Amino acid sequence: DAEAYPADAGDDHSKYEQLAVSVEQVQANFASYGLLDDQVKFLKGWFKDTLPKLDGTFAVVRLDGDMYESTIQAIEALYPQLSDGGYLIVDD
């Protein structure tokens, strides 16, 4: 939404099909490093729709939203759940 997030005006990341990754591919990547267990949750969808549904406390949150809108939505949803002394890593 360029009006609500003017920093994203003209950004077209969402139009590049090569940036889309299926849930199955992400699961395969986790499995290839031995990281796929019952503690891993996969939420398919936009950050604004999925992240507010998460509950619990996080020691590490790593974000890679590419755009201001998605990054700020993720921070707003997850930062309050970051444990004392936890880490918030933003890859942008």
For the segment 31-57, what is each residue's pLDDT rounded down to a tens digit? 999 999 998 888 888 889 999 989 999
Q: Is residue 57 part of a domain?
A: yes
4 sits in which H/E element: none
Look at residue 1 and tell me if it is in a domain: no
Range of the domain at 65: 6-90
- 21 is a domain residue: yes
pLDDT on residue 15:
75
For residue 77, is it within any domain?
A: yes
Domain count, the chain: 1
Indicate whether this model's pTM tops 0.75: no
92: confidence class by pLDDT, cuts 50, 70, 90: low
Classify residue 70: in a domain, yes or no.
yes
